[in-house]
Structure formats: structure tokens, C-alpha cells
Structure 1
Amino acid sequence: MKQWLPAMLVVGLAVVMMTGCRGGGQVYEVKDTPVQTATGKAASMEEVQKAIIGAGAKLGWIMAVAKPGEIVGTLNVRTHTAIVTIPFSEKNYSILYKDSTNLKYDADKQTIHQNYSGWIQRLDNEIRARLSTLGM
């Protein structure tokens, strides 16, 4: 059994190193998602903007209004930074990749660190949840 111990340690270390080095995936974007409220009542630009900013803030995003109908969101996680543009109206919104740091973004292949997709999906889910409560 003692002679297997060094080999098991090497294999274990290799597994830890491989799982710690995450690969990339396609850049995940949300495009023209309808603004849906629980009551079906139309939302105002101000309500949609407030819902998006609140959703981002809850998840640690820094949200800034770039111009009417557009928010820029920045998420800093350790040494990684993701920046998205969120154009919106009373009827729909999108979450689009803008820039990043230390996320292995490849513009030609449209790939990025796999954690990016999860961050965008969580942001989208929180925006949807907040929009659904409008008009109640």
C-alpha cells in the first residue's frame, strides 16, 4: 500500500490542477428579452431602469447609467472584471458583452472563461424576477 501512496498523490494533484484551470465557453448574451410583469401591466422606462440597477447591485455589479435606455454593468471578482452593456426599453432588454479583464476572451472565436456565462445568467434571472414584481 505504501508504494501506491506517491502515485496517488501525483494523480490527485493532477486532478486538482486540471479542475482548477477552467476552460472557456461561448460568450453568453441575452438579446431582446421581453419585459414581463406579473400583472401584464406595461412598465415605464424608469421602472425598468430601477429593476436592472437593483438586480445588478444585489449581485455585486456596479451599475451606471450610460445614457437614457442604456446601463453599463461592471463585475469585479478577484482579479477578473466583466463589463456588459444593457440596452433597455419599456418592452425589452439585452445583456451584451462589452469588455473584460483576465477572462481569456477570444474575439475571433467568441469564447470567454466559463464563469462569465453563470454571472450573466444570474444577472438575467434577477432582472426577470424584479421586472415580474412591477405593477403589483
Structure 2
Amino acid sequence: MKFNLFGKISVIAISLALLVGCGTAPVRNVDSAAISGAHSITSVEKAINRAGASLGWNVNKKSDGHMVGKLALRRHLAVVDITYNQSSYSIKYVDSSNLNYADGKIHTNYNGWIQNLEKAIDIQLSIL
């Protein structure tokens, strides 16, 4: 009897943990992240490209100081604007599919992807 009760509680706990992991949260944007050191706009652009490519992002230049990043994982797609200059960069949500975007909230995985992209950019900028 104790084992059955313990088993049921375990199944419920695991189910709740999985549901929590699939939740939504406010969209994470990166606003004017500082770039330390003196770098050319071209080197900043290359650092962003390398960082994105290392994580599977397809990053394309749209104009000077503006790139668009796309990440396609399984059935999910995230699109961001990346603006930059010699002293800072920003990453802003543009569009997505299959990430439950509504009213400024999105699947929590998106925020992790943006956090990872930000860290990768910072690493690439630090080794310039």
C-alpha cells in the first residue's frame, strides 16, 4: 500500500515538474549591453556572427549596425533584431512560431536561448 501511494505521488510530482518547465515568461530582451574595450564596428559584427553560429543561429546583416538572427530548433522558430555599435549591442524579439507568444510572454526556452546568445556574444567580444 505504501509503495502504491509513493508511486502515485512520484508520478504527480514529475508531471508537475514537466508542466512548470513548459511555462511562459515575459520576453527577454537585451538592452544596450555594454561592450568593453575599443573595437571597430566590423569586429563587433564578426563577434556577433561567430557567437550566433556557435549556437545554431543564422545571423544576417541587414544594414550597418543591424542584423537579424533566426534560430530554428525542431518545430520552433525565433527571430530577433540585433543592433550594435562600437560601445553596445541589443537583442530584441521580432517574431516566433510554436513558442506560445502572447501578450509579451513566451515559452521559457526562448529566454534561455537569448541568455545563451548574450553570453556567447560577450565571450566573443572579450577575445577580440
- Provide TM-score, normalisation by structure 1: 0.83
- What secondary structure does 1:117 align onto? helix
| 1:45 Cα deviation from its structure 2 partner | 1.0
Which of the two has greater helix per residue? 2
Calculate the aligned-residue CA RMSD, in Å: 1.6
Report what 1:19 is aligned to: 17
CA distance in 2, matches of 1:76, 1:131: 24
SS of the residue aligned with 2:39? coil
Amino acid at match of 1:61: W
**Gap runs ≥5 in structure 1:** none
**Residue in structure 2 matched with residue 46 of structure 1 by the alignment:** 42
User: How many matched pairs?
Assistant: 126
Aligned to 1:80: 76
Decide which moves more: 91-100 or 75-84. 75-84
Residue 106 (structure 2) pairs with residue 112 (structure 1)? yes
C-alpha distance in structure 2 between counterparts of 1:15 and 1:83, whole Å: 34
Unaligned runs of 5+ in 2: none
Q: Secondary structure at 2:101's aligned position in 1?
A: coil
> How far apart in 1 are the matches of 2:17 and 2:74?
18
User: In structure 2, how many angstroms separate the alpha carbons of the residues matched to 1:54 and 1:15?
Assistant: 40
Cα distance in 1, alignment partners of residues 29 and 3 from structure 2: 47
The Cα offsets for residues 19-67 of structure 1, whole Å up to 9 and x where unpaired, read as: 333111111110111111xxx3x11111000000100100111111122
TM-score by length of 2: 0.88
Give the 3 Å change call, closer, same or farther, for CA 73–23 of structure 1 in structure 2: same
- The match for 1:92 is 88
Aligned mates of 1:89, 1:32 — CA distance in 2: 10
Which structure has the larger Rg over C-alpha atoms? 1
Amino acid at match of 1:111: K
What SS does structure 1 have at the residue aligned with 2:86?
coil
